[in-house]
Structure 1
Amino acid sequence: MIVTSREAWTGRVLLVLLMAFTIVPFISLFVTALHPSGTYPSGIQWPQDPQWGNFGRAFTSANMGELLWSSGLIVLGVVPAALVLGTMAGFAFGHLRVPGHRIGFFAFVLGLTLPFEGIITPLYYQVRDMGLLNTRWAIILPLLGLFMPFSVIWMRAHFAGMPNDLSEAARIDGASTWQLFWRVHVPLARPAISALGILLFLWTWNQFLLAIVLVDDPAKRTMAGALGAFQGQYGTDIPLLCAGSLLILAPTVIVFVIFQRQFTAALLQGALKG
């Protein structure tokens, strides 16, 4: 297929417009955060005296040191476990084709249709009966269950596209099922695992609904969940609120920038297989 210069320029213009549509809100948020506290800036207007100290005030006022620690513990409780379980289940469904794998796969597909909002009420009572309300386990355990359908389907799609010749060669060399999984397929699945880890990190770090419903103590919530309490306390101070929002957003942006190559590689790998 030959792409004409007109089509190429149209694509570039659309990409520039999309990039501007994405970046402009962040620029507005950043510029607003530099205005003096108590002011109400209109539009994107650079302040005459930028108040860089708003970021320090927001960090101290929101106790973001404790929030970083709490969010880190929740991420460590969710992401590694979800990666291990999702990779093993995806290998079983996608490559080993264990008995009943079609029924199991259909069950996980149905799990993708469950919205957080639709299960939050029964989940609250279940967590309460387990005595886990107002603990970080009230966020970790539900997130593990809610992330499993996507994790399994994501990894199954990768393992289902792997050639059987690799497994047959490893079997001839005497490899067991565990050695086949750990030494042959997991190294080849690193792009898919890395991309899944990035997505799970972003979703866990930005989890808001479960954090505010199941945990009352802001110090035990995620960074995004604690933003609700910060907004209630400093909702009238727009610059300080914008500074706090940027501080909460910064870790996710840093993680994505660092691991963007692995994420892109996994997406391209899936596109080539398709």
Structure 2
Amino acid sequence: MLNTKSSTRLPGNLILLLMMVVTILPLLSMLFTALQPQGSLPAGLSFPREAHWENFATAFETSNFLALAQSSTFIVIATVPAAVLIATLAGYGLAHLQIPGERFFTVLFLLGLTLPMEAIITPLFYQLKGMGLVGSQWSIILPQMALLMPFGVFWMRANFLNASKELSESAQLDGANVWQVFRRIHLPLAIPAWASLSVLYFIWTWNQFLLAIVMVNDPTKRTMAGALGAFKAERSTDFVLLCAGSLLIMLPSLLIFLIFQRHFIKALMQGAVK
């Protein structure tokens, strides 16, 4: 029996190991390149004899990292909480409130997942320009919130559909209204779902590139990923500083994911456990 279980798990473990290697190797290559002397060519996966950790400090200063971090933080704070709240309310409504046209709206949100950003960026630019928002951080925040909605609503709807309806019925028999059922019963049970959604929204907003470079000319008002384009233009031949700057930009996303990965995995496993 043990041999059968081991043989069954072996292919899955090998796939996970392969995915881990494919994910980690590019990061290691970037780290080793960032530790090379400035102006040198990438040396692949060979750790330098003398690690130049000061390259990160140089990239921090030359890229105006502090101002970029403040801009990205403002964009994330203005986008993520509001987007998670709207997606949670909409997902709950589609799952439990039996609103007219529920199937139509669900299909509409699913179609939104297939809409590429590149297809709407030009009309979106002229629309925001007519509203006087181009050049400000709101030209990133408002479209980003709209782009996050299809996935977020579908994600939260699926979570609320898996919730026990008996709990809602019991609460209603005790005199609870719709808002109380949502706030006191379903919202606490959905903590893994909206916490993991917040992590995804943070990563996607922090790494938003296209909106940042199209809507805002000032690099200090862009996201970190969008500002990387300006940094690349200045340091296009210095691969060492480019790798160091890229790792600095990726670091907050990695830390957020590592901190909240427990909620993320729990949300993914809820449907399987049910």
Q: Same fold (TM over 0.5)?
A: yes
* Cα distance in 2, alignment partners of residues 38 and 179 from structure 1: 61
Cα distance change on mapping 1:164 and 1:4 into 2, 3 Å:
closer
Partner of 2:102: 101
1:211 is aligned to 2:218: no
The unaligned stretches of length 5 or more in structure 1 are none
Partner of 2:157: 156
* Cα distance in 1, alignment partners of residues 6 and 179 from structure 2: 52
The percentage of aligned residue pairs carrying the same residue is 52
**Deviations 1:220-244, CA, capped at 9 Å, x for gaps:** 1000000000000011111111100
- Give the drift of 1:103: 1.5
* Cα distance in 2, alignment partners of residues 14 and 113 from structure 1: 28
Q: What TM-score results when the alignment is normalised by the length of structure 1?
A: 0.96
* 105-114 vs 71-80, which moves further: 105-114
Q: Which amino acid aligns with 2:119?
A: G
- Give the drift of 1:94: 0.5
1:131 is aligned to 2:132: yes
Task: Report the aligned-residue RMSD.
Answer: 1.4
* Cα distance in 2, alignment partners of residues 113 and 45 from structure 1: 41
SS of residue paired to 1:46: coil
- Give the drift of 1:200: 0.5
* Cα distance in 2, alignment partners of residues 9 and 246 from structure 1: 33
* Cα distance in 2, alignment partners of residues 15 and 177 from structure 1: 43
* 245-254 vs 92-101, which moves further: 92-101
SS of residue paired to 1:42: coil
* Cα distance in 1, alignment partners of residues 221 and 177 from structure 2: 43
1:192 is aligned to 2:154: no
SS of residue paired to 1:134: coil
Q: Which amino acid aligns with 1:17?
A: L
**Deviations 1:140-199, CA, capped at 9 Å, x for gaps:** 000111111111111111111222211111111111111111111100110111111111
- Give the drift of 1:98: 1.2
SS of residue paired to 1:259: helix
**Which runs of structure 2 are paired with 1:24-63 in the superposition (5 Å)?**
24-63=25-64
Q: Which amino acid aligns with 1:140?
A: I
Partner of 1:83: 84
- Give the drift of 1:17: 2.3
- Give the drift of 1:24: 0.8
Cα distance change on mapping 1:105 and 1:5 into 2, 3 Å:
closer
Contact kept in structure 1, 2:80 and 2:202, CA below 8 Å: yes
* Cα distance in 1, alignment partners of residues 198 and 69 from structure 2: 19
**Deviations 1:101-142, CA, capped at 9 Å, x for gaps:** 112112111211111111111111111111001111000000
- The count of residues paired between Structure 1 and Structure 2 equals 273
Partner of 1:247: 248
Partner of 2:71: 70
Q: Which amino acid aligns with 2:126?
A: Y
* 44-53 vs 128-137, which moves further: 44-53
SS of residue paired to 2:88: helix
Partner of 1:23: 24
* Cα distance in 2, alignment partners of residues 8 and 151 from structure 1: 32
Q: What TM-score results when the alignment is normalised by the length of structure 2?
A: 0.96
The unaligned stretches of length 5 or more in structure 2 are none
* Cα distance in 2, alignment partners of residues 113 and 17 from structure 1: 29
Partner of 2:142: 141
**Deviations 1:74-117, CA, capped at 9 Å, x for gaps:** 00111100111010011110011112211211211121111111
- Give the drift of 1:4: 4.2
Q: Which amino acid aligns with 1:38?
A: G
Q: Which amino acid aligns with 2:228?
A: L
SS of residue paired to 2:132: coil
Contact kept in structure 1, 2:32 and 2:44, CA below 8 Å: no
Contact kept in structure 1, 2:39 and 2:238, CA below 8 Å: yes
Partner of 2:229: 228
* Cα distance in 1, alignment partners of residues 224 and 216 from structure 2: 13
* Cα distance in 2, alignment partners of residues 45 and 79 from structure 1: 39
